[in-house]
Amino acid sequence: MSTTYNFCAGPAMLPQAVMKKAQGELLDWNGLGTSVMEISHRSKEFIALTDQAETDLRELMSIPENYHVLFMHGGGRGQFSAVVNNFLGENGKALYLVSGSWSRSAVDEAIKLTSDAQIDTLDLLVNDNGISAVSIPELAGKATDYRYLHYCPNETVDGIEIVEEINCPWPIVADMSSNIMSREIDVSKFGLIYAGAQKNIGPSGLSIVIVRDDMLKMPSLPQSSIMDYRLAVKHGSMYNTPPTFAWYLAAEVFKWLKVSGGVAAMAKTNAKKAELLYDFIDGSDFYNNTVSAQNRSLMNVIFYLENEDNNADFLAEASRAGLVALKGHRSVGGMRASIYNAMPIEGVEKLVEFMKGFADKYQA
């Protein structure tokens, strides 16, 4: 059977070892004679799974003791509204940094739930001759007392990543849906981190929330109980029935990450994968990338063909070569290769080899 490399931005490919284990345990998990999807989420066996998942995630990300780890519903979009409802009671104000499609979506959701006066935005994008870059302004001197600053370190659609540390006097809320555990970070710099699971953690339907104790003391707005961080903490992320199969797969991904060398090892491999692909694109007259070098995403590589009339042939021939889901987001066009933790370097090597052959064949 030929190998297929899945470059989908999300739901993304999962580690092959995890998928094979899940396949083998699908009908009989933990010797119970039933699937993990069929047992009570309050059974001692499932509680043991969730405890280990939290322990492993805390170890992988070096999460301090004064942070809670929550396994919640709703993916990243669900957290757009949860953040507002949990932290912006009593007419609090928040600052949103805009660097691409997902940070804009977070703003749109926040505005639905608040008055215009409660949300301030700063556009970080600058454009120089068609090349996009991020410019972070000086924030420490701003007089406004914001409840939090929200930003998206990695813009999946736009292929933009902010590696630079943001310094400000307010708690930082970060949407890390597409780059969580792709490189090491200092969790203590953040008030809250959230991530939809479907890119670097597991299947869709689950989201991870890492929240500092003091954040939970902020005034909140009336909201759905299942998105209330305080209730989630109180009930161990089980106020209602959680997405148990997604939690199980996330737990298996955490185990895989640990035996693979942890986040530090992933960061080295991710840098090699991205360098291999970007170096080829930069050295080609047939392909181009429109993001400045310092803001190029390690997870989502955007590129365009010299002649966009060849796009359909590129996608069709790539698919036949076992390279799937390379079409760029409809809002930006072109191509997108998402190379999350689960993508082996062999997949990127095969993609570069294909791109070279395609360019040789179609070069004008």
Residues making up the annotated binding site are: 42, 76-77, 102, 156, 175, 198, 240-241
Quote the CA–CA distance of 297 and 337 in Å, as a whole number.
11
End-to-end CA distance of the chain: 35
Q: Is 274 in contact with 295 (CB distance < 8 Å)?
A: no
**Catalytic: 247?**
no
Binding residues for L-glutamate: 42
User: Which member of 56, 158, 175, 228 is catalytic?
Assistant: 175
Closest CA to 199 of 175, 176, 174, 177: 177
Cα dihedral 185/73/42/249 (nearest 10): -60
With tokens 């009336």, the residue in question is 222
Q: Is 102 a catalytic residue?
A: yes
Q: How far is CA 89 from CA 56, 137, 147, in A?
A: 33, 27, 10
Catalytic annotation, pick one of 29, 158, 170, 199: 199
Which of 29, 56, 102, 247 is an active site residue? 102
Q: Which residue has the tokens 């006097």?
A: 169
- Cβ atoms of 302 and 274 closer than 8 Å: no
| Residue stretches of the annotated binding site for pyridoxal 5'-phosphate | 76-77, 102, 156, 175, 198, 240-241
Is there a catalytic annotation at residue 199? yes
Point out the residues that are catalytic.
Answer: 102, 175, 199
